Structure 1
Amino acid sequence: MKRAFDVMTTFTGLLLCWPLVLILALLVRIRLGSPVFFQQSRPGQHGKPFLMYKFRTMTENRDGQGNLLPDSERLTAFGRFLRSSSLDELPELLNVLKGDMSLVGPRPLLMEYLPLYTPEQARRHEVRPGITGWAQVNGRNAISWEEKFKLDVWYVDNQSFWLDLKILWMTFIKVFKREGISQEGEATMSKFMGKF
């Protein structure tokens, strides 16, 4: 039922918002250049890697040694708008259609974090990752890693169709209020360094 709901809702959403997607793609191309999409390997269900798509929000500016500058220096005002409005995540709807992601589930983090999880934290990968999730509507990037993982595992143990509907509604409210976009002192969220 969850997968059928994901496909039906995502397909309908893409039909309704494809003009917006095209406009955003054009704006990203004009303001940030090419490529328009940010693509990165992320761990999916059971930790299996998949390629996640987002709209680019950062420049490719580098230092004298050719290293990318910190996120805070590459994130433009336009990029901040895309992130605060969550419009940068619209391309993830393609990941949902492909079956890599669900509309609701723990957010897919970085591949490099996989060996750092405790067995309990790793349980977040028992389900498909989501565009939004229980941790996102309960603090998003403004909460600690420990709180985030506890909320992710709680979702794994308590997932239901009605909980997903509640999370989707709460997501709409959070995005409208633009809450929890970043951790204090960070462009997004501090790097996860290991077990608690």
Structure 2
Amino acid sequence: MNATLKRLFDILASLGALLALTPLLLLIATAIRLDSPGPVLFRQRRIGLHGQPFRVLKFRTMVDRDPDAIDQHQEQVVSAGIDPRITRVGRLLRATSLDEVPQLWNILRGDMSVVGPRPILPEQVEVVPPSYASRFDVRPGLTGLAQVRGRRTLGWIQQLEADTEYAARHHLLYDLGLILKTVHVVLTGQGIYGEAGVNWRTYRDSLRNRQQGDTK
């Protein structure tokens, strides 16, 4: 019953938001096309419910690059608003989280939910310890517990802890509370470019160093 209500809420919320935000979406799309060459949308492979891959949608905020050609193991973390990869319009979209709005279509399709763990990259799956695998038992979300607890300021394991806590506790009223908290986080700009916690690449490297030390 909880899953049915959650899916019904996702459909109604995403459809209503897409209809209401159509003028804004068209304005953003126009601004992106005028600001820099390349597509309006950025499509990237992510891992969703039960480990199934899908293409997440975002407004393009960086210079045009083929998402499948990006080496995620070597990709640099985005740094504040001075990152040369980010376009002028992209800086505004990231600061307001408007770059994520196209994921309403992912929600309507059933790839995602309004609330849930953020969808991760295929490369990140290898550094999800088995004890946190329950994060894949729910659809990834546009927002979630990790987002209201600190976003990028959380370390990789802290994010996974929040994801698995959500997977164990989620219900419709809980989701509504997280949505309200998300509004506050977005309006105040919390956790966008603040001092970041240990990211998944750093965590991966620490695991490798530990394994190499054990074999010596």
The two structures have a TM-score, normalised by structure 2, of 0.81
**Is 2:12 the counterpart of 1:40?**
no
Match of residue 210 from structure 2: none
- Counterparts of 1:1-196 in structure 2, within 5 Å, are 1-60=5-64, 70=76, 71=78, 72-184=83-195, 190-192=199-201, 193-194=203-204
Distance 1:153 1:81 in 2: 31
Q: Does the CA-based 8 Å contact 1:183-1:190 persist in structure 2? A: no
Query: Could you tell me whether the CA contact under 8 Å between 1:32 and 1:56 is conserved in 2?
Result: no
Change over 3 Å in CA distance of 1:14–1:133 after alignment to 2: same
Secondary structure at the aligned position of 1:51 is classed as strand
Superposed CA deviations along residues 115-136 of structure 1, whole A, max 9, x for unmatched, are 2211122221110000000000
Residue 17 of structure 1 deviates from its aligned partner by 0.6
Instruction: Report sequence identity in percent.
Output: 40
Aligned partners of 2:47 and 2:163: how far apart in 1?
A: 14
Distance 1:170 1:96, change over 3 A: same
DSSP 3-state at the match of 1:11: helix
Q: Is the 8 A contact 2:49 2:138 kept in 1?
A: yes
Q: Map Cα deviations across residues 9-29 of structure 1 (whole Å, 9 max, x no partner).
A: 111111111000010011111
Deviations 1:123-178 (A, max 9, x none): 21110000000000110111111111111110000101111000100111110001
C-alpha distance in 2, partners of 1:48/1:28? 30
1:182 deviates by 2.6
Alignment RMSD: 2.2
Letter in 2 for 1:2: K
The unaligned stretches of length 5 or more in structure 1 are 62-66
Moved beyond 6 Å, runs of 4+: none
CA contact (8 A) 2:152 2:196 kept: no
1:123 and 1:156 mapped to 2: Cα distance? 7
Give the Cα–Cα distance (whole angstroms) in 2 for the partners of residues 58 and 77 of structure 1: 9
**Which of the two has higher C-alpha Rg?**
2
How many Å separate the matches in 2 of 1:140 and 1:77? Answer: 23
**Distance apart, 1:60 and its partner CA:** 3.5
Report the counterpart of residue 64 of structure 1 in structure 2: none
Q: Which moves more between the two structures, 24-33 or 87-96?
A: 24-33
SS at match of 1:14: helix
Which runs of 5 or more residues in structure 2 are unaligned? 66-70, 208-216
TM-score normalized with structure 1 length: 0.89
> Hey, what's the Cα distance between the residues in 1 that align with 2:196 and 2:164?
27
